Chains A and B, each alone.
Chain A
C-alpha cells in the first residue's frame, strides 16, 4: 500500500506532464504559425533536457544563461551547470556528456583542442578548422556571433594624446621603448601578448609589469600610471566606463575569438529546433551587445539571469 501511493502519484504527475506538453504550444502563447502548430506540439513532447554549462567568469555565465533561457523559451528543459570551472574542467565534461552546450570562443578553444592548429583572424576560417578538429569528438560548432572577446591593448586618454596613439603600430613609430606594458605574468612568452607585439609589430617596451589577466590590478595600474599600456579583454565594460583608448589591432595579431555555442551531436539530433534557437541568439550578439551585458553584471551589479532574460526579450528571442 505504502509503496503504491507514490507510484500512483508519479504516474498521475507524468500524465499531467504529458498532457501539459502536448498542449504547450496552445498554453504558451499564440505566436507559433498555425500551419506548423501540430508538428511543433508533438516535437515538444520529445524535447530533451539540455545541460547548459559555462566557464567560471561572468561573461560566460551570462552567455550560458542566454542559451539556457532561449532554449527554455522553445520548450526545452534545462539543467544549468553554470560557473562550472575553466576550460580544463568544462571541455572534458562536454566530451563525456556531463554537459551538452557551452558558450565557447572560436580561436581559444581551437588552440585548446589542437595545439598545432593554426587559428586565423578570419572567424569563418577558424570556425571551419574548429569544426574539423571537434568532429571526431562528436561535437558541433554552431554559428558564431559577431561578438568577439579577445586581447586588446588599451591606453588611457592622456597617454593616447601624449604619444598620438590610435593603432597598435603607433607605439613603434611614436613611443618606441618609452612605454611600460602591464598584463598577466605569462604575457612576455605568449604569442598574442608581448611576444606578438614585439614580433608582429616590432614594438619595444621600456619595461613589463606582471599584473593579472585583464582584471582589477591592470585597471588600477593604468589609472595610477604604473603602466602605460594594459591588456584588457575587448568585451570588458570597464574600457568604456574608464574611457580608455583601445589600440586598433591593425596588423591582425589577435585571432578571431568570436563567441559560438559548442554542442554535443547527440543532443542536437534529439532537439530539432535547437540549432535554429542558438543560431538566432548568435545572429543578434555583437561585441557592443556583449559589452552592454557585461556592464550590467560587473558595473550595475545585476544578476546574470535577469540580464539574460531582459536581453532575450528585447531582441525578440523569447516572449
Chain B
C-alpha cells in the first residue's frame, strides 16, 4: 500500500488534468493537438507512400536494382529522426516554410520510406513464381500480370509496410514539438519545461493511444482491401505452419 500511494496520487493528478475542461479547448486543447498530430502524420505518410510504393513495386516487379534501393532506403532508417529534424530546420528556413509543421514533415518522410519500399519490393519478389508463370501461360500482358496477379497477392505485405511506417511516423511526430510544431509532442516537451509530469504523461499516453489506433485502423483496412481468396490462402498457410 505504501509503495502504491504515490502512484495512485499521480494517476489521480493525470485524471484531474484530463477532466479539466480548459485542457479540451483552445489552441493547446487536446482536440486541436490530436488534430495537428493526425494531419502532420497523415500528410507525411501519404508523401512517403507516394514516393516509396511506385519505386518498390516497380523494382519488385522487374526484380532489378532492389539491393541498391533497399540499402539506400535503409540508410534513411539508420539516421536518427532528431538529426534529420535538425537538418530539416535550416532547409525549411531557406525555403521560407517557417517553423513547426514543415521541418517536422521533412524529417518524417524519410522515416516512412524504408519500411514501405522494403515491404513492397519483398512482397512482389515473393509472389509464387509458378503463379506468375501460369498467368503468363494464360496470355496475360506484363501490366496485367502486375495488376491482376502480383499486386493482389502481395497486398497484405505491402499494407503491412505502410502500417509500420504509419506507426513510426505517429510516434516520431512528437519530436516536432522541439522545433515549435503543434501535435501531441507539445504536451511532452512543454511538460518537461514546466516540470508538469501530469501533462507529460498525458502527452505520452495520447501518442501511444494514437499509435495503437493507427495500427488497428490499418488492420481493418487490410481486411477490407485484401481479396478474400488471398486471405484464405494466407490463413491456410498459417495453419499449415
Residues of A at under 8 Å CB distance from B?
A: 182, 184-186, 189, 207-212, 217, 220-221, 224-226
Q: Does B180 contact A (CB under 8 A)?
A: yes
Q: Are A226 and B99 in contact (CB under 8 A)?
A: yes
Q: Are A207 and B98 in contact (CB under 8 A)?
A: no
Classify chain B's interface size: 10 to 19
Task: Indicate with 1 or 0, residue by residue over B175-206, a CB within 8 angstroms of chain A CB atoms.
Answer: 00101100000100110011000000000000
Q: Are A185 and B193 in contact (CB under 8 A)?
A: yes
B100, B177, B193, B194: which contacts A226 (Cβ < 8 A)?
B100
Q: Do A220 and B194 contact each other (CB < 8 Å), given the known contacts A207-B27, A209-B180, A210-B180?
A: no
Q: Which residues of A contact B93 (CB under 8 A)?
A: 220
Q: Are B194 and A217 in contact (CB under 8 A)?
A: no
Q: How far is the CA of A212 from the CA of B189 in the complex (A)?
A: 11
Q: Are A210 and B100 in contact (CB under 8 A)?
A: no
Q: Are A185 and B190 in contact (CB under 8 A)?
A: yes
Q: Are B193 and A217 in contact (CB under 8 A)?
A: no
A213 — nearest CB in chain B belongs to which residue?
B193
Q: Are B193 and A184 in contact (CB under 8 A)?
A: yes
Q: Does B96 contact A (CB under 8 A)?
A: yes
Q: Which residues of B contact A208 (CB under 8 A)?
A: 27-28
Question: Closest 3 A-B residue pairs measured CB to CB?
Answer: A224-B98, A185-B193, A185-B190
Q: Are A189 and B99 in contact (CB under 8 A)?
A: no
Q: Are B98 and A210 in contact (CB under 8 A)?
A: no
A212 — nearest CB in chain B belongs to which residue?
B180
Q: How far is the CA of A70 from the CA of B75 in the complex (A)?
A: 52
B186 — nearest CB in chain A belongs to which residue?
A210
Q: Do A217 and B186 contact each other (CB < 8 Å), given the known contacts A186-B194, A189-B194, A224-B98?
A: no
Q: Which residues of B contact A210 (CB under 8 A)?
A: 177, 180, 186, 189-190, 193
Q: Are B194 and A221 in contact (CB under 8 A)?
A: no
Q: Do A185 and B100 contact each other (CB < 8 Å), given the known contacts A209-B180, A210-B180, A221-B180?
A: no
- Whole-angstrom distance between the Cβ of A206 and the nearest chain B Cβ: 9
A185, A217, A225: which contacts B179 (Cβ < 8 A)?
A217
Q: Which residues of B contact A182 (CB under 8 A)?
A: 180
Q: Which residues of B contact A217 (CB under 8 A)?
A: 99, 179-180
Q: How far is the CA of A212 from the CA of B194 in the complex (A)?
A: 12
Q: Which residues of B contact A209 (CB under 8 A)?
A: 180
Extra A-B contacts (6), CB below 8 Å, given A186-B193, A208-B28, A225-B98: A185-B193, A210-B180, A210-B186, A210-B190, A221-B98, A226-B99
19 pairs, CB–CB < 8 Å, chain A vs chain B: A182-B180, A184-B193, A185-B189, A185-B194, A186-B193, A207-B27, A208-B27, A208-B28, A209-B180, A210-B177, A210-B180, A210-B193, A211-B99, A211-B180, A217-B99, A217-B180, A220-B99, A224-B99, A226-B180
Q: How far is the CA of A184 from the CA of B193 in the complex (A)?
A: 8
- Whole-angstrom distance between the Cβ of A177 and the nearest chain B Cβ: 13
Q: How far is the CA of A221 from the CA of B89 in the complex (A)?
A: 12
Q: Are A221 and B193 in contact (CB under 8 A)?
A: no
Q: How far is the CA of A51 from the CA of B184 in the complex (A)?
A: 45
- Whole-angstrom distance between the Cβ of B178 and the nearest chain A Cβ: 9
Q: How far is the CA of A212 from the CA of B89 in the complex (A)?
A: 15
Q: Are B96 and A224 in contact (CB under 8 A)?
A: yes
Task: Indicate with 1 or 0, residue by residue over B86-126, a CB within 8 angstroms of chain A CB atoms.
Answer: 00000001001011100000000000000000000000000
Q: Which residues of B contact A212 (CB under 8 A)?
A: 180
- Whole-angstrom distance between the Cβ of A198 and the nearest chain B Cβ: 15
Q: How far is the CA of A182 from the CA of B193 in the complex (A)?
A: 15
B195 — nearest CB in chain A belongs to which residue?
A186
- Whole-angstrom distance between the Cβ of A107 and the nearest chain B Cβ: 21
Q: How far is the CA of A40 from the CA of B99 in the complex (A)?
A: 58
B96 — nearest CB in chain A belongs to which residue?
A224
Q: How far is the CA of A102 from the CA of B28 in the complex (A)?
A: 39
Q: How far is the CA of A290 from the CA of B177 in the complex (A)?
A: 32
A206 — nearest CB in chain B belongs to which residue?
B27
In the complex, chain B residues 47-68 whose Cβ is within 8 Å of any chain A Cβ:
none
A226 — nearest CB in chain B belongs to which residue?
B98
Q: Which of B98, B180, B189, B194 has the most CB of A within 10 A?
A: B180
Q: How far is the CA of A212 from the CA of B179 in the complex (A)?
A: 9
Q: Which of A189, A211, A224 has the most CB of B within 10 A?
A: A224
Q: Are A220 and B98 in contact (CB under 8 A)?
A: yes
Q: How far is the CA of A209 from the CA of B96 in the complex (A)?
A: 19
Q: Which residues of A contact B100 (CB under 8 A)?
A: 226
Q: Which residues of A contact B179 (CB under 8 A)?
A: 217
Q: Which residues of B contact A221 (CB under 8 A)?
A: 98-99, 180
Q: How far is the CA of A194 from the CA of B124 in the complex (A)?
A: 57
Q: How far is the CA of A184 from the CA of B189 in the complex (A)?
A: 11
B93 — nearest CB in chain A belongs to which residue?
A220
Q: How far is the CA of A209 from the CA of B186 in the complex (A)?
A: 10
A221 — nearest CB in chain B belongs to which residue?
B99
Q: Which residues of B contact A189 (CB under 8 A)?
A: 194
Q: Which residues of B contact A211 (CB under 8 A)?
A: 99, 180
- Whole-angstrom distance between the Cβ of B72 and the nearest chain A Cβ: 31
- Whole-angstrom distance between the Cβ of B200 and the nearest chain A Cβ: 11
Q: How far is the CA of A210 from the CA of B189 in the complex (A)?
A: 10
